Amino acid sequence: MKYTQLGRTGLKVSRLVLGTMNFGPQTDEADSHAIMDAALDAGINYFDTANVYGWGENKGRTESIIGNWFAQGGDRRERTVLATKVYGNMGTEGEPWPNQDKLSALNIRRAVDASLKRLQTDYIDVYQFHHVDRSTPFEEIWQAIDVLVRQGKILYVGSSNFPGYKIAQANEIAARRGGTIGLVSEQCLYNLAERRAEMEVIPAAEEYGLGVIPWSPLHGGLLGGVIKKEVEGGRRASGRSADALANTAVRAQIQSYEDLLEKHGLEPGEAALAWLLTRPGVTGPIVGPRTAEQLESALRAVELELSQDVLEGLDEIFPGPGPSPEAFAW
């Protein structure tokens, strides 16, 4: 495994981030524990989750699965850089009540304590805002974070799904207040088929020293060889991939993508991950394996070096938007 520092911090993290969103809803606890063990054995030390994972009446379940894994000992917690998130509503389904979501100081305080209990740990390495909260000023948010840092409950803070201007606003207010060092990472939607983050989000992250953590690196499976799987195994795309492939222009684009990689003897999913690892500012993409086999495929991407011909071909098939403001102005 290769490692890098998370943004401007001294924290060393793996170039792949283990996403746990499937733990509970799609992968049972025993298999989830086996995947986490395999990830650690392979050198992945950065694990990502969120308080709402498990979803619906089972939200919080994923953190509990991770907590039970930590409780097995064997230095599992000590070897893991743990990231979780706050924002989503953790109240009882069908019984809404105020202050059980978003980024008020009250909800942040309650959400941290609840996550720590489920995770069976006394601190969180990277505590992430899952979405922007337009109702809560950053002065209040950073005041709450300062308290948690002093209490030793969190070490670093990151954002997720933030636009570029919010990254700037958050860190400018943090710098003005003193205390916390501000955001150190941004988790955003970024992959070959969705490159809008290159316009504003990634430049802002680089300017303020945030590590970029792309989520959905295979764009819901669309970049994982869906057409090839249809032809070879009769396995048809489903969900978002199926909807996208119903568009003839998108299907032609994905076919060109798969043809290019087949020409160079590359697996689509591995190449899509390897491409992200070449991008400026990227710390490491989140991979969310449902099985051990999917984890093994993701691990191969770390050692994969894409040739200049492949990189140029990918840019032709999936041209980025270009930098801002040139992407939309002269």
Rounded CA-CA distance 6/213 in Å is 9
Question: What's phi and psi for 12, nearest 5 deg?
Answer: -95, 125
Contact 188, 214 (CB under 8 A): yes
- Helix, strand, coil percentages (3-state) for the chain, rounded to 5, are 45, 15, 40
- Contact residues for 327 (Cβ-Cβ < 8 A; gap 6+): 199, 321
Q: One of 46, 53, 87, 190 is an active-site residue; which one? A: 53
**Active site (annotated) includes residue 87:** no
Contact 73, 136 (CB under 8 A): no
> In sequence order, what E strands does the chain have?
3-5, 12-14, 17-19, 46-48, 81-86, 124-129, 154-160, 183-189, 211-215, 286-287
**Crossing angle, helix 248-263 and helix 226-233, to 10 degrees?**
80
**Crossing angle, helix 268-277 and helix 248-263, to 10 degrees?**
90
State the catalytic residues. 53
